[in-house]
A and B are shown apart, each in its own frame.
Chain A
Amino acid sequence: MKNINFRMKQKMNEVFSIEPNDLGVNILTNYFRKITSYLKTAPFIFAIPLAILVSLFLYIIFGRLLVRLVTILQYGY
């Protein structure tokens, strides 16, 4: 029982180690919390489709410039 209490206390300390974010305006804070909740767990579920869409969009807008950018990036390591 003591062990469980200790673990519980430790977990509570960990969870409340920082104050929750408050952006000053309620609507903004709510939106911020909604968006960040998707990024807190498994962000790649959103990041990968978003990155694919953005890169396709960039290709449509910039065309061959994107291919040149990749050539430069490949020398960037």
Chain B
Amino acid sequence: MATDLITSFVLVMRNFIFLIISPYKTMRKISLEKDYYQPVFIIGIIFVYFKFIYYLRDKVYPATLIYFLFVFNFLLTASFFYLLSKLFSQNKKEVIFSRFIITFSYSLFPTIIWFLSTSILFIFLPPPRTFSILGKGFSIFFVAYSLSLLIWKLILGYLAIRFSSKQNFFNILTMIIYYLIWFIPYSVFLYQLKLFRVPFI
């Protein structure tokens, strides 16, 4: 048990580095993975993050509640793409739910990095940003940093759907459009309830 956990932890770290260097090959390998400790580790890291930011936020809701809502959103997203893939797929047996969980959990890495770095920056460089040269310079840097992580997130998200659903580009694009149709209003609803400002997905 302990050896399995350590192995999974090492594999998570290894895959994390390789997702930066070679996302395509790494996500392809991850999609064939059968070690379920790995997504548990990643989801566990997110629990630590939510506990950490609880002390920075307005404390409207307990961290555990926000965390369980995140897990619900995560499962909802994975299930949505799984069901759509079943609909689109001709060979329904090759669409496996656990593949969606593993690949989608790895696609959370850019999200974790962005949220963690933003919360740390909040401590050291609290907003609001000023219109001075330094303020403008930091703003350009922050947008560039966020955009590059967003590009990485989009690549990993696309690859996660591609290797789990085994669908072609147009089918994946259709699935993403269907997803955004309900997910954007849902995110606005969560924002209004002050549960999430930027959706953690």
Instruction: List residues of A whose CB falls within 8 A of some B CB.
Output: 14-15, 17-19, 21-23, 32, 39-44, 47-48, 50-52, 54-56, 58-59, 64, 66-71, 73-77
Contact = CB atoms under 8 A, between A and B. Distances in A.
Contacts of B118: 73-74, 76-77
Secondary structure class of chain A's binding surface, majority of residues: helix
A22 B143 CA distance: 34
A38 B128 CA distance: 37
Most central of A18, A52, A55, A77 by chain B CB within 10 Å: A77
B28 interface: yes
B21 A42 contact: yes
Most central of B139, B168, B169 by chain A CB within 10 Å: B139
Given A47-B148, A48-B148, A55-B147, A74 B23 contact: no
21 contacts: A17-B31, A17-B166, A41-B25, A42-B22, A43-B23, A43-B152, A44-B20, A47-B148, A51-B148, A52-B144, A54-B147, A55-B141, A55-B143, A66-B139, A67-B131, A67-B136, A70-B127, A73-B146, A74-B129, A75-B127, A77-B119
